[in-house]
Structure 1
Amino acid sequence: MTEKRSRRAPRRSEAERNDRTLLQAAREVLAEDGAHATVAAIAARAGVGIGSLYRRYRTKEDLFQRLTELSLDHWIEAAERGLAEDDPWRGLTGFITERVEYGQGTLGPIAGTIEVTDAMAAKSARSDELTEALIARAHEAGVLRPDVTSADIFLLLEQLGRSPAVEQLRRQGRTDLLEAAAEAHRRLVGIAVDGLRAGRHSALPGSPPSPRLLTERWTPPPASG
């Protein structure tokens, strides 16, 4: 029995490594191709055959749902870490930085293209609750500019969670410039985050985005015909 368990352990570890590689490849292909990302492109990026991918995920939708759940898990964990931080500004900006580094922007293009499962909906509600708490605490402390809303933060994360320069260089195979592009992106994130700080700012243009812009994107459009 012990010998059988010892043989299963390496196989399980290898399967977990392969799954992580596959999920990372899916994120990268989604960042480049958006909703048009194909299973073939994801498998090729991961260095596996399409059959291997389908043994792990029955459909592309299953794979994207798994990616979304993992992203929501990380969102919840990052928000909880932010709320555990004594300083409201460090808590909020630490959360934003973590989410940007995770690659939040890669999942935006699949909104409305996959079914929202009960697990996804529950995790999304929890992530919204924690994020609202982070933002409310920063507003109450007077460190976040008062005209910034939670929808602003959500959309900012989506925009900053991608780096077109990094994606282009990766497609070109320019590994010599990848780190420089990543550093430039981190600098831009710092500039954007600093713009959230309360102080002397020009008024933001337009009205605050409606929460519907975020939630209804995940509802598939009605079938035509």
Structure 2
Amino acid sequence: MTERTRTAPRQAEAERNDRALLEAARRALALDGAHASVAAIASRAGVGIGSLYRRYRTKEELFQRLCVLALDHWIDAAEQGLAHEDPWAGIVHHVSACVDFGPGTMAPIAGTIEVTEEMAARADRCDEVTRALVSRAHAAGVLRPDVTATDLYLLVEQLGRSPLPWQIADQGRDELLGAATEARARVVAIALEGLRAGTVTPLPGRPPDAGLLRDRWEPLPAAG
């Protein structure tokens, strides 16, 4: 047996463990928020805590990697939305795809971890493609004119933090999983209808500034 033959199974196992850890961390954040423990994440992933620390030196490093993946997913969903010929279908695709992935689960850790250069670069790209998606829908007259890119971020965040399907799965109640997934899809569809142009009731308050979401990722000042 060659060294390459011996290494391949170990590498494949490490990649499986990494995927399991990231999925477990995502679910733990959705259900437990920023207080999700490393031990709980490892247990949920079905790996030893030593395996977790061999891959990620700290919980912060694990969460930073998870943030990058969430930002990548947002970018991919927005780019796919822009590829739709129908601007409204593009908005629907983007919101639905992002809610399914659940980037809103990252919100509880805002301000608790360092924003890496990689995260910042991905966030810049997120802003770029989201503004393009919203601008195109506005120009086509399909998105209500008072909706901003930041509104879209906030909507996806709130909808994506709905843990119902994951709660059902954690309970082992597989007979309810289909109904839970459909229920969340209905809520997303209801929310999307509120984005359509032609809605009579204006949105309350002033449009949120783009800095609202970015600023909360700044480290919190140490307690004096």
Fold-level match, TM-score > 0.5? yes
- Could you tell me the TM-score, scaled by structure 2's length? 0.95
Aligned-pair distance for 1:17? 1.0
Amino acid at match of 2:126: S
Instruction: Work out the CA distance in 2 between the residues paired with 1:171 and 1:88.
Output: 37
- Does residue 1:66 correspond to 2:57, yes or no? no
Cα-to-partner distance string for 1:107-150 (whole Å, 9 max, x where unaligned): 11111110000111011101110100000010011000001011
Residue matched to 1:137: 136
Instruction: Work out the CA distance in 1 between the residues paired with 2:56 and 2:137.
Output: 41
Instruction: Work out the CA distance in 2 between the residues paired with 1:110 and 1:161.
Output: 15
Cα-to-partner distance string for 1:81-119 (whole Å, 9 max, x where unaligned): 111222111112111111111111111111111000011
Residue matched to 2:214: 215
Identity %: 64
Equivalent position SS for 1:204: coil
Residue pairs, 1:31-70, within 5 angstroms:
31-70=30-69
Cα-to-partner distance string for 1:7-64 (whole Å, 9 max, x where unaligned): 2222211111111011100011110111111101101101111111111100000000
Residue pairs, 1:78-157, within 5 angstroms:
78-157=77-156
Instruction: Work out the CA distance in 1 between the residues paired with 2:73 and 2:35.
Output: 25
Amino acid at match of 1:12: Q
Q: Kindly indicate whether the alpha-carbon contact (under 8 Å) linking 2:24 and 2:45 is maintained by their aligned counterparts in 1.
A: yes
Which moved further from structure 2: 18-27 or 78-87?
Answer: 78-87
Residue matched to 2:192: 193
Aligned-pair distance for 1:171? 4.5
Instruction: Work out the CA distance in 2 between the residues paired with 1:25 and 1:84.
Output: 31
Instruction: Work out the CA distance in 1 between the residues paired with 2:167 and 2:95.
Output: 24
Residue matched to 2:177: 178
Instruction: Work out the CA distance in 1 between the residues paired with 2:67 and 2:98.
Output: 13
Amino acid at match of 2:93: G
Instruction: Work out the CA distance in 1 between the residues paired with 2:129 and 2:165.
Output: 30
Instruction: Work out the CA distance in 1 between the residues paired with 2:182 and 2:104.
Output: 17
Which moved further from structure 2: 16-25 or 174-183?
Answer: 174-183
Q: How well do the aligned residues superpose, as a CA RMSD in angstroms? A: 1.5
Query: Unpaired segments of 5 or more residues in structure 1?
Result: none
Which moved further from structure 2: 140-149 or 174-183?
Answer: 174-183
- Does residue 1:6 correspond to 2:5, yes or no? yes
Which moved further from structure 2: 20-29 or 72-81?
Answer: 72-81
Cα-to-partner distance string for 1:58-86 (whole Å, 9 max, x where unaligned): 00000000000111111111111111222
Residue matched to 1:160: 159
- Could you tell me the TM-score, scaled by structure 1's length? 0.94
Aligned-pair distance for 1:6? 2.5
Amino acid at match of 1:224: A
